[in-house]
Amino acid sequence: MTGLRQRSGWHAWVLAVLMAWSLPAVAQTHEVTTATPLRATPSLNSMVLRQLAVGAPVQAVQTQGGWLKVKVGEQQGWVRLTHVHAVAPARPAPQGAGNALASLFTGSSTAPTATTGTRGLTQEQLANAQPAPQEVQRLDRYAVSAADAGSSRVAAGSAPPGSATMTERRNENHSGRALAGHRCLRCGAGGL
């Protein structure tokens, strides 16, 4: 059992990643930006279910390659990812003073209101910025090793701890940086 898992570990991991990937994302409203057909499958050769006009609202279901699966009313189908854009970014409402400021920006003023004292990073705050070398030094404590970065990269959320990871295989097979990239691309894409 253990032996089997060791051997098939990374395959199981890739499968788990792909399965997680195909789970419906949080439905987000998108708007059609280029008139485009709604297709039955994510392919240019697939059946056209209906035409979508510019401005048509659609609900995003999932992405696959350059395609987005969407719901239009009761109908589901695929559109080119680049032919829609999200209309309302899913951002949590700003807290405290942020709320008051946010409501200011929806008013009639055309110039962004000064936000000195808030946590923006505006032109004005930049114009008053004084060097903070201690903050630059602070970055060192957050730095990670290449091995750490690699292992976290491939041990996707759903991978069981201890399963063969990309880093392990990378350590076995490679030392070069570019090769790591090759390997991963194969696993993430070409591998299946």
Partner 1 sequence: MSGGGLSGLSSALGGLGGGSGGTASGIQNVVQGASAAFKDYSPQEERELGSGFASVLLGARPLVRNDQLQRYVNRVGLWVAEQTDSRKDAQGRPVVYDWRFGVIDSDAVNAYATPGGYVFVTKGLLHTLHSEAELAGVLGHEITHVVHGHYLAAVKKGGFAQMAGGIIEARSGNGALSGAMINMVRNIYAKGLDQSDEYDADRYGMLWAARAGYAPSGLIRSLQAVAGGSAQDANYQMLMATHPPAQERIARLNPLVAGKFAGIDGMSNEARYRTALRALD
Distance CA 192, CA 188 (A): 8
Q: Could you tell me the smallest distance in angstroms from the CB atom of residue 162 to partner 1?
A: 17
Distance CA 169, CA 162 (A): 13
Provide the terminal-to-terminal Cα distance of the chain, rounded to the nearest Å: 23
- Smaller CB separation from partner 1, 47 or 189: 189
Q: Where are the beta strands (DSSP E) in the chain?
A: 28-32, 36-39, 48-52, 57-64, 67-72, 75-80, 84-86
Q: Could you tell me the smallest distance in angstroms from the CB atom of residue 1 to partner 1?
A: 26
- Smaller CB separation from partner 1, 76 or 122: 122
- Smaller CB separation from partner 1, 73 or 141: 141
Q: Could you tell me the smallest distance in angstroms from the CB atom of residue 146 to partner 1?
A: 6
